[in-house]
Amino acid sequence: MARPTKLQQLKSRGPAQNSDGRSQSYCADFIVYLRNECHLAENSIKAYSRDLKRFLDWLEDRSIPRLKIAELSQYVSWLCQRSLAPASVARHVVALRTFYKYLQLEGVVRDNPAELLTTQKLWQRMPGVLSPSQVDGLLAAPRRSDSYWQRDRALLEVLYATGCRASEVCGLRLQNVNLKQKHLKCEGKGGKQRMVPLGLRSIESIQFYIDQLRPRLVALAATTPDHLFLSRSGQALDRIQVWRLVKRYAQRAGISDEISPHSLRHSFATHLLAGGAGLRQVQEMLGHANIQTTQIYTHVDHSRLQKVHREFHPRA
Query: Residue 170 to residues 159, 164, 186: CA-CA distances in angstroms?
Result: 10, 10, 10
CA 143 to chain centre: 29
Q: Which residues pair with 159 in a beta bridge?
A: none
Query: Residue 59 to residues 181, 191, 281: CA-CA distances in angstroms?
Result: 53, 32, 42
Q: Which residues pair with 175 in a beta bridge?
A: none
HSE, side-chain direction, 13 A CA sphere, residue 174: 13
Residue spans of alpha helices (H) in the chain: 6-12, 19-36, 42-59, 69-81, 86-106, 132-139, 149-162, 166-170, 200-212, 214-218, 239-252, 261-274, 279-286, 291-294, 296-300, 302-312
d(CA 224, CA 134): 37
Catalytic sites, residue numbers: 165, 189, 262, 265, 288, 297
d(CA 126, CA 76): 21
Radius of gyration of the chain (CA): 23
